[in-house]
Structure 1
Amino acid sequence: MDINIKNMVCQRCVMVVSQIFSEAGIEVENVQLGKVTTTEVLRDETVKQVNQQLKRVGFEIINDAKSRLIEKIRNASIDYVYQHSGEHEENFSDYLTGKLNLDYPYLSTLFSSIEGTTIEKHLINLKIERVKELLVYDEKTLSEIAWELGYSSVAHLSGQFKKVTGFTPSYYKKLGEQKRKSIDKV
């Protein structure tokens, strides 16, 4: 049985959700971002109890098909930004179409109508949060960060960063951690 979970955005989320299912005595086959596969079909009462536990830590079972698709778009966006560093040979629309096996115009229209922003703006916001993270860690140059996130140049990255945050990357680096958002808030 596949169960879709809202706000699962990192490996810690996977661990927390796995623990909740384990404590409920539910055997899981697989847990990945946004999805839990159980070895058996669960009773409605069990699903309700697990959902209560999930809500206590900021997650939620998604029942609506459109909401599930939005969550898949969000997870694919995170995967594209965080897992495919420097491998942005295909553009995001092609990546998303291939990952979800649906036409990009449909995905884009659905996302915009439900989220109130475009997929492109969501992706830019994710990239900027990633840039913030990398700036705070201070392990890479701005050139390396630009390449890793698929920007055509440092100037393009800097311009987009300033447009979104109001700060230059170098000024932000001085500010540090206080201005970062949690990835599930993007």
Structure 2
Amino acid sequence: MKLYIKYMVSNCCKLMVKNEFNKLGIKISRIELGELEVKQKISLRQFDKIRSVLKKNGHELMEDKKSIQIEKVKAAIINTIHYSDELPEVKFSEYLSTKLECDYTYLSNLFSEVTGTTLQQFIIVHKIERAKELIIYNEMSLKEIAFKLHYSSLPHFSNQFKKITGLSPVFFKSLKKKKRIALEQLIENQKLK
């Protein structure tokens, strides 16, 4: 049985969910961002406990198809941008359509309808957050970061970075105290818009 969990956006979230399910005596056979699979049948009482535990930890059990689809989209984007070494060589629209076996226009419209933000904006915000992380590591030049995140040029990357953060990448790099946003908080901020 597959369960879909809203706001499960990081490896820390996965670990917390796994631990909570273990405490409830429910064995997880597979866990990914936003979803997990259990082999056993879950009773109504267990479902109530799961909902309660998830809510206590800032997550939600999703049961409607639109929300599930949106979480799949978010998980695919987050996994690809934050946890993959390389972004796909194809455009995100093509990548998402193929990965989720769904028309991109439908996904984009549904995403905007449910979240109140565009799918493209969600992708950009996550790419910039990933860029901030790479700048903090100080192992790559800004040009290499722009290339890694599939920007057409360094000026294009710099313009988007400044539009999202209010700072140029060069200025951000020069700051003594560089500030990143936790993925969970990034999702929460986008929820409030």
Q: What are the superposed Cα offsets for residues 11-38 of structure 1, whole Å, 9 maximum, x if unpaired?
A: 2211111111001001111111111111
The answer for the alignment partner of 1:177 in structure 2 is: 178
Residues 54, 60 of structure 1: 8 Å contact kept: yes
Q: Which runs of 5+ in 1 are unaligned?
A: none
Identity %: 38
SS in structure 1 at match of 2:25 = coil
Q: What are the superposed Cα offsets for residues 46-105 of structure 1, whole Å, 9 maximum, x if unpaired?
A: 011122112222211111110111111111111221244434311100100011111011
Q: TM-score, normalised by structure 2?
A: 0.90
Q: Which runs of 5+ in 2 are unaligned?
A: 188-193
The separation in 1 between residues aligned to 2:98 and 2:76, in whole angstroms, is 10
Q: For 1:80, give the aligned amino acid.
A: T
Residues 5, 60 of structure 2: 8 Å contact kept: yes
**Within 5 Å, which residues of 2 pair with 1:21-36?**
21-36=21-36
Shift of 1:8: 1.3
Residues 7, 60 of structure 2: 8 Å contact kept: yes
Query: Aligned pair 1:58/2:58, yes or no?
Result: yes
The answer for the alignment partner of 1:39 in structure 2 is: 39
Query: Aligned pair 1:156/2:124, yes or no?
Result: no
SS in structure 2 at match of 1:90 = coil
Residues 96, 104 of structure 1: 8 Å contact kept: yes
Residues 81, 87 of structure 2: 8 Å contact kept: no
Shift of 1:175: 5.4
The answer for the alignment partner of 1:14 in structure 2 is: 14
Report how many aligned residue pairs link the two structures: 185
Shift of 1:119: 0.4
SS in structure 2 at match of 1:176 = coil
Distance 1:147 1:97, change over 3 A: same
Query: Aligned pair 1:105/2:97, yes or no?
Result: no
**Within 5 Å, which residues of 2 pair with 1:112-131?**
112-131=112-131
**Within 5 Å, which residues of 2 pair with 1:62-141?**
62-141=62-141
Range with greater deviation from structure 2 (16-25 or 129-138):
129-138
Q: TM-score, normalised by structure 1?
A: 0.93
Q: For 1:16, give the aligned amino acid.
A: M
SS in structure 1 at match of 2:177 = helix
Residues 85, 149 of structure 1: 8 Å contact kept: no
The separation in 1 between residues aligned to 2:127 and 2:154, in whole angstroms, is 14
Shift of 1:172: 1.5
The separation in 1 between residues aligned to 2:128 and 2:176, in whole angstroms, is 15
Q: For 2:149, give the aligned amino acid.
A: L
Residues 88, 95 of structure 2: 8 Å contact kept: no
Residues 146, 157 of structure 1: 8 Å contact kept: yes
RMSD between superposed Cα atoms in Å: 1.4
